[in-house]
A and B are shown apart, each in its own frame.
Chain A
Amino acid sequence: MTPLLAARGLGKAYARAGWRRGAPRTVLSGIDLAIGEGECVALIGRSGSGKSTLARLLMGLEDPDGGAVLFRGAPLAGLDRGGAKIFRAAVQMVLQDPLSAVNPRHGVGRILAEPLRHLTDLTAAARQARISDVLDAVGLDPDAADRLPGQLSGGQVQRIGLARALATRPALVILDEAVSNLDAPRQVDLLDRLASLRRQDGTAFLLITHDIRLARRFADRVVVLSEGRIVDSSACRPGLALSHPAARELLDAVLPAAPGGL
């Protein structure tokens, strides 16, 4: 079966800054990753391992230097206007910092309507109905549509970002550290909501995080990224079987559940 979204030998390098340009710095190399329909994959790695760069390449926000991203078998670079619109509606993303991801002068309703206006052909009334639906799905009051982002708490704005990503009924949602900044009760609440959305709609997720606890709780499969390469991967159930030193380092850094190893 063709995977929903796949990376084939993906590589990316950034030029060094400054007037004396050295060799470009390689951020990603030889990335092969496939996400099936309805699958939930966690991409874990330390800061600077290339997680967010990979997310931007998968979203088509940047072009890779080598390799290709395939959306249902078709390379992203070769998509025509109509194909790109379908891709944008099918693959959505939630970013880490919620407040910088929304226009502070737009009401929540307008923020949520934006992807619907551009990526779907819903009527105005149908858009309103969809907005109420997604607000409900992320556990926010429909009245929130009239508020500005500044009038909501950080956790609420993060759920607005999630609602916006879900508005077009995407096949895949990329969560780039989207739950890392929330406190534990909110993390658990949000992950449980996402799990129930998965059961309902069969949405696939790519959860990008440095917290192996979140990955273990939510994903089917964990992929470990270290210094721009995929170094290890494992199914989450029955238990994680990771052996690469970079993966062990992340596992060992999990803080104790109780004092003194109770």
Chain B
Amino acid sequence: MSAKVLQGKVLQAEVLQAKILRAEGLSVETWRTTWRGREPVPLVRGVDLDIRTGEVLALVGASGSGKSLACAALLDVLPPGTRRTGGRILLDGAQAEPAALRGRAVASVLQAPRTAFNPLRTIGGHATEDPGKPGRIAMAEAFAAVGLGDDPRVPDLYPFQMSGGMLQRAMIALALMSRAPFLVADEPTTDLDLVAQARILDLLAGLVRARGLGLLIVTHDLGVVARLADRVAVMEAGRIVETAPAASLFATPREPATRALLAAHRALHAVPAAEAVA
């Protein structure tokens, strides 16, 4: 098969119409130095992900299972000290360079909103490098879509003047302005309180419905999965051990890793029997 390779200057229209973003066999490793020399340490092993527009795919797993690294490999933003050793990214079946897709086909929302912004620039300054009228209109639209449109002062605020929930909304607004059909959200609500978390999840669910976004959400909280996800991929020790529709994953988990996550999740939700504590 002669796959058309998208790289560098891609046809923007083609990218915006894409329906399926597929990652095949993503592998990431780091290395440790021993007396024999460098030894590779695999961190992500052959991960396949299918993100479809209009659908929410959740990537879950315990801390350290490789969820965030798999996402970073998909976006080609691996941290220093790690490298991608395998895998390819396909956009509607055509092989693509991850760096060419980032910001065009795939936008991302990160975990800690406070560190994702330049503290010396206003939110409006982040949203538009070109202060012309088209930029301002696009910004106003995106801010309205995430619920920041009511307050005209928002674009003039600096990140330290905003709450974590507002910053996370602003980050989603910036992601929307790219008009990318796919959104990768790595633990988008972990740093927020429960009330702000519920609102951000409502917002993401609404955007998926209204705009037909394809959302990949990375989380360790099965509550987030229950609220939002259509399909779930469970990671353990760098591998995807189970992929299933959300409802069937909760009803009939197959793998021990999934069962362990579900057991802890249910233990948190259940009120324990009144323990006799003297």
Contacts and interface: CB of A to CB of B under 8 A. Distances in A.
Interface string A176-194: 0000011111111000000
A237 B264 contact: no
B222 interface: yes
B278 interface: yes
B269 A250 contact: no
Interface stretch (B20-28, B130-138, B151-159, B245-253): B245-253
B210 interface: no
Contacts of A153: 63-64
Contacts of A47: 163-165, 192-193, 196
B3 interface: no
Interface in A160-200: 181-188, 195, 198-199
Q: Label chain B's interface by main secondary structure.
A: helix
25 contacts: A46-B193, A47-B163, A47-B192, A48-B163, A181-B190, A183-B63, A184-B264, A184-B265, A184-B267, A185-B260, A188-B268, A195-B275, A214-B268, A217-B268, A249-B195, A253-B197, A255-B201, A255-B226, A255-B227, A256-B227, A257-B226, A257-B265, A258-B250, A259-B226, A259-B250
A87 B48 CA distance: 55
B195 A253 contact: yes
A250 B194 contact: yes
Given A153-B63, A155-B63, A183-B62, 20 more contacts: A38-B278, A47-B193, A183-B63, A183-B264, A184-B220, A184-B261, A184-B267, A185-B62, A185-B260, A185-B264, A188-B264, A188-B267, A210-B193, A213-B268, A217-B271, A217-B272, A253-B194, A257-B223, A258-B226, A262-B247
B277 to A, nearest CB: 6
Nearest to A51: B193
B225 interface: yes
Contact of A250 (B192, B195, B261): B195
B221 interface: yes
Contacts of B251: 262
Interface in A57-112: none
Classify chain B: how many residues form its interface, as a range: 35 or more
B250 A262 contact: yes
Contacts of A202: 278
Contact of A187 (B164, B229, B268, B278): B268
A260 B247 contact: yes
Given A47-B163, A184-B220, A216-B271, A255 B247 contact: no
B266 interface: yes
Given A257-B266, A259-B246, A154 B63 contact: yes
